[in-house]
Amino acid sequence: MKASELLKPANREEAALLDKLDVKRLPRHVAVIMDGNGRWAQKRHLPRVAGHRAGVKTARTVIETCSHLRISCLTLYAFSMENWRRPQAEVDFLMRLLREYLKRELPEIHKNNVRLLVIGRPEQLPEGVRADIQDAMKLTARNTGLTLIVALNYGGRAELVDAFNAMLDNARKNCLSAFSADEQAISEHLYTAGLPDPDLLIRTSGEMRVSNFLLWQIAYAEIYVTETLWPDFSRPRLLEAFLDFQKRERRYGGLSSAKGRAVSAAAGKASQESED
C-alpha cells in the first residue's frame, strides 16, 4: 500500500514526499518535543499566547497525519513540571487552551478511533482540567487506532521516582525482605507501561537537548532535530522527519548487517587459517 492511499496529499510537495515514503518502515511510536511557540510569536511581534494558539493547529495536523498513516503511538510533550515557573497568566492561559482543545477536538478524535492517554502527575493540575482529562480518556478508552499520549505536568526524572516508589510500596505490602529491580520491572511501573518505546524523537526549534522527556523510553530512539518552530511544523516537515528516519540503520549497539557479515567472514577466515 502506498502512503498516498492512506493520506491524501494537499499539494505537490506533500505528494512528492508521500511517494518516497515506505509505509512498512514508518516508526511505530513517535514522540515530539513541541518547542518554539514563544519565539514564533516574538518574530511576528505577537503575544506569546498567539504562539500557543498557533501551536494547537500544528498539533491537530500532526495527530491527523499520524492517524492516517497508521502510526501506533504519538506522544506530545504539552506541559512540563518546569513550566509552572512561567508567568501565572501564561500558565492559566495554557490550562484554558487545553480545556478548549478537548471540548472542540474530542468528538473528532473519538470519531477517528484515537485513544487518548495523559501521563504525568495529574493531581497537581486544576480540578477542571483533571475532570476533562478523565472524561476524554474514558470516552476513548476502547478506541483501537492511534494512541495519543499527552505528557502533561510531566517530568522524566519524576516518572522514574514514581516508578521506584511504586515498586518499593509493592515490596513493603508483600513483606519482601529484599528488593531488587530489573529493566522489565521498571518499565512496567512507568507511566507508559504497556506501550512501545519511541522509535523517533522529534524536537522542533533547533534546541539540542531532551528536556527531561521520556528519559528511560528514548534510550534507543532516533533523534531528529529541526530548526523549524513548532507552529511552522507543517505536514511536509513531519513527512521529511519520517523520510530521514527511514534512512537510519537502527543497530541497538550492534553492527550494521553489512558490517556484521564482513566481521563474521573475517572471523571465519582467521579461524580457518589458524587451523591450517
> Catalytic: 174?
no
* Encoded amino acid at 61, one letter: T
| Rounded-to-5 percentages of helix, strand, coil across the chain | 55, 10, 35
d(Cα 24, Cα 26) in Å, to the nearest integer? 6
Q: Please report, to the nearest 10 degrees, the dihedral formed by the alpha carbons of residues 169, 170, 171, 172 taken in order.
A: 50
What is the CA angle 22-27-33, rounded to 5?
130
Confirm if 51 and 41 have CB atoms less than 8 A apart.
yes
Confirm if 158 and 121 have CB atoms less than 8 A apart.
yes
The DSSP bridge partners found for residue 77 are: 33, 151
What is the CA angle 201-205-210, rounded to 5?
40
> Catalytic: 83?
yes
DSSP codes of every residue in 184-246? HHHHHTSTTTTSPPPSEEEE-TT----TTSSTTTTTT-EEEE-SS-GGG--HHHHHHHHHHHH
Long-range residue pairs from 176-184, CB within 8 A, at least 24 positions apart, any chain? none
Which is catalytic among the residues 11, 37, 83, 132? 83
Which is catalytic among the residues 35, 132, 197, 199? 35
Q: Which residues are catalytic?
A: 35, 83
